[in-house]
Every structure is written in structure tokens, then in C-alpha cells.
Amino acid sequence: MAQKLWDKGFSINEEVERFTVGRDPEMDLLLAPYDVLGSMAHITMLESIGLLAADELERLLAELRSIYILARSGWFQIEDGVEDVHSQVELMLTRRLGDVGKKIHSGRSRNDQVLLDLKLFTRAKIQETVTNIVSLIDVLIAQSNRYKEVLMPGYTHLQVAMPSSFGLWFGAYAESLTDDLQLLLAAYKVTNRNPLGSAAGYGSSFPLNRQLTTDLLGFDSMDYNVVYAQMGRGKMERVVSSALASVAATLSKLAFDACMFTSQNFGFIKLAPQYTTGSSIMPHKKNPDVFELTRSKCNKLQAVPQQITLITNNLPSGYYRDLQIIKEVFLPMFDELNDCLKMATNMMREVEVNTEIMKDERYDPIFSVERVNELVLQGVPFRDAYKQVGQVIANGEFVPDKHIHHTHEGSIGNLCNDKIQEMAQSIVSEFHFERVMAAEKKLLSDIENLIK
């Protein structure tokens, strides 16, 4: 059995080991490429301060690149008896390089190692999520422009209220996602700071060059105070999960609308057949199961920030094993949300809009406000105009004029979709993903060509 990094020469109860290790090996497989990246930056720094020889660094980097390829290709495994990804990487290096492999841990702890892995993983997943959000925004804006002239009922209290349009409906969710991007940008800025060198939370007597590892890994800055670097574990996950939960809330509301609007009592939209399912007993059914599952998954994701808060909110400064459990709720969150984003994008791209909704007489009263406004423009005081039109409706004599003319910013006739897209693009540009990609590419040299 492989030694643990903390091994002191005595065995522990197998039941206790199973309980304390938990799902860590499963979660750590997600972190493996990032653990390797962090080790490459760390040993490069160790060589610069004289704790590794140049030839040792060269040999270690070559082996770490090989391990990185394994991790990226899905072939990396944590062996039975090996506690975590950090132990597995060090074990593989020691098997191949002997004592040189044992030198990579100088000046760091598993505490700052896992902090770093989580930050590298999170910023990569945020980039993937941002890409998917932008794709959905683009589809929503395209559909908003396509159907900007098609009216639909607007509701308050689930009662028909005023004229709306598909241009407004699609565009509203595009702008909501744009605000979600702003939250995600703030979360990214909290994430993209380097904790490496904080060790167990109190620094090191080695003359570590933390700025060098910050630059090598493409971080915006470091977490300067070593105690805060450790206190940041859990906080970063809570901040990021809150931003992701905001995206999930937007998707959940979109899914609710879509499920409701596809029902026969509304009949506003039709989903492409592949996104619906039938009934085992009713041959006419086309159930919006994909959007129903999207709604459910996104509602579940909105609970993650609260779970993280409950795990961390009574912990003092320093490291505690409680923090291990955060990985189980946080790491899977990205893939679940990104699956929902991709599905929503496909469904919105292929959705069929009912362009004849407003011919139904049940929606005639929603044009009453337009008539009130016309009277006001003719000089009738608003309250008097309101009463006049109300009486006409009560008498069953209201005849709507369905040709409406809204011109102000953000209204039916002036959607401002170009402004929404500009805002989204401006926010995305502030992430500066290109800096991270350039730093990682330099650290990995030409390894990407080998992976392909």
C-alpha cells in the first residue's frame, strides 16, 4: 500500500479511513489536471530559489507533462490505498524519478495545494460556463429580433394585463443572463487569486517567490495574507456558487414559462419533438420533460450556496476537515448547470412561435390601456379616461385597436437588443481569459499538440 503524505509509521482503522476519505478520490479526479499545473509552477519556483537543481526541474517537468496528458485524456487513476490526487501525483513521480519526486512538496502543504487546485478548476469551469451563457444570450437575442413584431399577452398575477411581444419575452431572458454574467465576473475576480505559498495557512520559512507562481499560473494577484488564503476556502466556493445559482434561477424561470406556454390553455409556443416525451396511456401527449428537468435541476442548484454556508459558517480561522465535504456539492455544480444551459440553448433555437395568439378575443381587454393613453393624449385627464374605458369594458362594448406604438427604450417597439449584447460583450471582455490561457500554454509548452 502506498504511503500517505502525512504517514508517521502506524496504521489506522479501515472503517475510520473509509469515513474520512469519503468521496475525495472521486472528486479529486476532476482536479487532477489542475494539481499537475500547480505542481509545475511550484517546482519552477523551487528551482529559482535553489531548492531544486536545473536538471531535476527538467526531469520533473517532463514527467508532470506526461501525467497531465493522462489526466486530460481521462486515463489518470487514484490507486487503491492512495489517499488523494496529491499523493497519487507524488507517488507516480517517485516511482519514475526516485528521490527527486519526493522534493516537489517542499514549501507547500496539502492545504494550499487543494486551495490552488480548486481555484484553477473553478476559473476553467467559469470560462466554460461564460461561453455557454453567451451562446444562449445570442440565441435569445436572435429570436427576439426575429419575432419582435409578434404580440403576446403580458401577465400580472397570472391575469392577462397588457400587450407584450415575443421580442420582449426572449430579450428579457437575454438581459437577465447578462446581469448573471456580471455576478459571475465578480466571482471570477475572487477566484483568480493565488493561494500557493500559504502552506498550512501560516506561510513557510523557505524564501518562496509567490509572485513567480502567480505569474506562471496567470492569476490576477495572490491571496496576500496566508491566514486569509486558508480562510478563503469555502468563501470562494460560496461566492461562485451564488453566481451560478443566479444563472440557475434565470434558467428555472425560463423553463417555467416555457412549460406553461406550451400547454394547450396557452398555446404560445411549441417545442421541437425531440425535447418532449409521450404518455404511456394518452397517445396525444407531448410533455415538456426536458424543460421540466431543467427547472428541477436549476432549483436544486440554487440550494448549493446554502449548503456551503451551513458547512462553513461556524468554523474559526485555520483548516478543518469539514471543508473536504464542500467539494462534493460544489465541483459537480458546473457540469449540471452547463448541461442545462446547452439544453436551453438548443430548445430556444428550435422553438416554434404561435404568431396568431392575439386573434383570440379573450385577449382583447389587454388593449384597454392603449385606449386610455389615447384619450389622455387627446386632453382627457388620466383618471377620467380610466373610468370611461372601464365603463365601456363593463358594458361589453370595448373594441380593441391592436396596432400599438411603443417607442421608449426597452419597449415593444424599441427592444434595445443591441445594447444588451454590447453590455454582455463588455462584461465578458473583463474576464481576460486570454491571459490565463496564455500563461497555461507557456507552462505546458507544446503539450496541447500531444493531447490532440
- Contact by Cβ (8 Å): 269, 308: no
- Which residue's C-alpha cell is 471543508? 323
Q: Report the pLDDT value the prediction gives residue 90, as an integer from 0 to 100.
A: 94
Is 111-355+411-451 in CATH node 3.30.565.10? no
Q: Give me 357's grid cell.
A: 395568439
Lowest mean pLDDT among 101-105, 258-262, 436-440, 445-449: 445-449
What cell does 380 get? 382627457
Tell the CATH topology of 14-106: Fumarase C; Chain B, domain 1 (1.10.275)
For residue 77, what is the DSSP state? -
- When pLDDT is averaged across residues 306-324 and rounded to a whole number, the result is 90
From CA 171, how far away is CA 416, in angstroms rounded? 9
Mean model confidence pLDDT for the chain: 92
What values do phi and psi take at 80, rounded to 5? -60, 135
Residue 442 predicted with pLDDT over 70? yes
**Is pLDDT of 187 > 50?**
yes
Q: What is the pLDDT of residue 341?
A: 98
Q: Is the pLDDT of residue 181 over 50?
A: yes
Query: For the residues 267-291, what does the mean pLDDT come to?
Result: 82
The contacts of residue 175 (CB under 8 Å, 6+ apart) are 420, 423
Predicted confidence (pLDDT) per residue in 109-146, tens digit: 999 999 999 999 999 999 999 999 999 999 999 999 99
On the question of pLDDT at 449 being above 70, the answer is no
pLDDT at 4: 53
Does residue 423 carry a pLDDT above 60? yes
Q: Is the pLDDT of residue 450 over 60?
A: no
Q: Residue 351 is placed in which grid cell?
A: 422553438
- Span 239-252, pLDDT tens digits: 999 999 999 999 99
Task: Considering only residues 361 and 277, tell me which one the structure prediction assigns the higher pLDDT.
Answer: 361
pLDDT higher than 50, residue 451: no
Q: What is the pLDDT of residue 20?
A: 67
| Cα gap 228→234, rounded to integer Å | 11
Tell me if 278 sits within 8 A of 287, measured CB to CB.
Answer: yes
* The pLDDT of residue 279: 58
The domain segmentation of the chain, as residue ranges, is 14-106, 111-355+411-451
Closest-CA residue to 130 (of 293, 222, 215, 243): 243
Question: What's the rounded mean pLDDT across residues 359-375?
Answer: 92
User: Is a pLDDT exceeding 80 seen at residue 342?
Assistant: yes
